Structure 1
Amino acid sequence: MDSQVGGDLCFPHLFNTSCKKPTSSWTETVLLRTMLSFISLLTVALNLLVIISVSHFRHMFLSPCRKLHTPTNILLLSLAVSDFLVGLLLMPGEIMRRTACWFFGDLMCSLYNYVSYIVTSASVGDMVLISADRYVAICDPLHYSSTVTERKVKVCVCLCWLSSVLYSSVIVKSDLTQPGQHNSCYGECVIVVDYVLGTFDLVVTFIAPVTVVVVLYMRVFVVAVSQARAMRSQVTAVSLQLSVSEDLLTDSSASYVIFLFYFNSCLNPVIYALFYPWFRRATKLIITFQILRPGSCEANIHVRRR
């Protein structure tokens, strides 16, 4: 009898303190892991294409003054990096936490939670920067080149990531200083943020960014009704990313919401593939390994319209 009970534990040798293994059926577990693993791999692959496309190819047109390293694409690159990390680190971590025991210890659990806050905060910050970039480009096009420069955008991106690191360290400070303090047993990985701090975090990482993005894009549509089709791809990208609010107060009560939030990280590259011809051209060169040829970074990936 004891051996049967011990077989249901994550750590059988810790009989009194070990968590029980997930009780889902084998079929349900396999299907869930397969689906989530596929989404994770798809997110990694698609965002990696964006990262390589923007980082590798220097020129989108034959003219050397028209580069892929534009301020807008630098912001898209930063967003792709955060989405790539979601697929590479956060999704597998959530799969482990929801379908199996956590075997990596309390310290790794705290670090995982810390990284998840950093990546999601940086992603939200990138989307705010993208909306601001589009606002200036549409509403003040004459001063766009002088107002939004490559150097300024790089500084903003660095500040965005640095702020995310510092901000996240404040949110999960207690969990970092005392790893596993909220775990009820060994083999569990949870994080609990107190009500006041959690409410503040909800405002900073969701309500305020959404408000800024909505206001900016409303102004954009008022000023540029004639360019609604061109702006639709950008608005769709932001709407999909911000369509789900992450419950930051109790991690264990937000598993499915978190999965939906993370799933949005694989939607941006799909939108780029549908609306940006240069990305489709770059993707073709990447998957056919033509980027391995000498001088491939100078390739012209502009698709001429007939």
Structure 2
Amino acid sequence: MATLEEAEFCFPKLLNSSCKKIMRPHSVSMLTYITLSSISVLTVTLNLMVIVSICHFKKLHTPTNLLLLSLAVSDFFVGLLIVFQIILIDGCWFLGDLMCSLYFLFDYVITSASVGTMVLISIDRYVAICFPFHYSTKVTVRSVFICVCVCWTCSFLYNCLILKDNFYQPGRYSSCYGECVIIINSIAGISDTIITFIIPITVIVVVYLKVFVVVMSQVRSVRPRVAAVTLQGSVKVNLKKSELKAARTLGVVVVVFLICACPYFCVTLTGGGTVFTASSVAFVMCLFYLNSCLNPLIYALFYPWFRKSVKLTFTLQILRPGSCDANIV
């Protein structure tokens, strides 16, 4: 009898008020644990490498890399938050009602800051490609730092406002002990989806489309002049490679983010005014978390300086005096 109670209830001693565990086959539970743990470790490791590289090497202290640093920091914390999602696999929360509310607050703040940083990165690339002569004067380390600080501050204040009702009396929306839920009314839910998903996605897609059009027009304008060059064949090949690389990178950035983020925000949009149980949206949340693991691969791994910095870090050469001045660009 005791074994049955322990298998079914989060708190076996509180049978009348304890939540029941989500019963799954052992193989499914193990696969879920391994998948989430792998995503968490990869997310933390990859983003930590980006953070160490940009902070350590002075040559990487540029406006664009500062945005990558902000994205890596938010994604690093997302990797840590996955640990709490692992705790919720069985549908039981053992850390208390206040920690439950804080968990959702940190989750919302970090993911919002990540989306905001992606918008800033798209704008940075737009200015760099479409207005190259004004880029160095308009986009500086100081201006980017201010934008990043504003992004994080607004994300924190905005999500505190959205979730404020859940902090007045933590746990008042829970129907049993061991449940971790929050309440977001329908108006706030729809507004949150518009502000943190629809508007950012629209900006990112429109900006990247404009960047793509500018890149294609530049390639077409260069081709007639390239035709007169003696090494016509080899130069054309290089242009085609750069053209395909630009198209592929922009496509990966937009498509991967849409694939990872759309299910999560669709659940949020259709679930306005209802109780959000962390265990019931585990799949879409994990898919959204996966984007934080892919971001360093998309934004940083394709850069040669990232591969060099990883090599210097793993070989402990960054511990040598003057290593921060190394030219890895």
TM-score (norm 1): 0.90
CA contact (8 A) 2:115 2:200 kept: yes
CA contact (8 A) 1:6 1:15 kept: no
1:81-120 matched pairs, under 5 angstroms: 81-89=73-81, 91-99=82-90, 101-120=92-111
| Inter-partner Cα distance in structure 1 for 2:46 and 2:40 | 10
Q: Deviations over 1:54-100 (max 9, x none)?
A: 111112xxxxxxxx1111100010000000000012x1111111235
Tell me how many residue pairs correspond in the alignment. Answer: 293
Quick one: percent identity of the two aligned structures?
55
Alignment-mate amino acid for residue 207 of structure 1: I
Alignment match, 2:63: 71
1:27-66 matched pairs, under 5 angstroms: 27-59=27-59
Q: Deviations over 1:169-191 (max 9, x none)?
A: 01111112221222221111122
CA contact (8 A) 1:127 1:238 kept: no
Gaps of at least 5 residues in structure 1 are 60-67
Match of 1:242 among 251, 255, 258: 258
CA apart distance, 1:26: 2.1
Structural RMSD (CA): 1.8
Match of 2:147 among 156, 160, 165: 156
CA apart distance, 1:255: 2.1
Larger radius of gyration: 2
Gaps of at least 5 residues in structure 2 are 220-241
| Inter-partner Cα distance in structure 1 for 2:4 and 2:164 | 39
1:80 paired to 2:105: no
Question: 1:267 aligns to what SS in structure 2?
Answer: helix
| Inter-partner Cα distance in structure 2 for 1:6 and 1:30 | 19
CA apart distance, 1:115: 0.3
| Inter-partner Cα distance in structure 1 for 2:152 and 2:254 | 19
Match of 1:292 among 297, 301, 319: 319
CA contact (8 A) 2:122 2:208 kept: yes
Runs of 4 or more consecutive aligned structure 1 residues displaced over 6 Å after TM superposition: none
Question: 1:242 aligns to what SS in structure 2?
Answer: helix
Alignment-mate amino acid for residue 277 of structure 1: P
| Inter-partner Cα distance in structure 2 for 1:170 and 1:126 | 20
Alignment-mate amino acid for residue 268 of structure 1: N
Q: 1:285 to 1:69 in 2, by over 3 A?
A: same
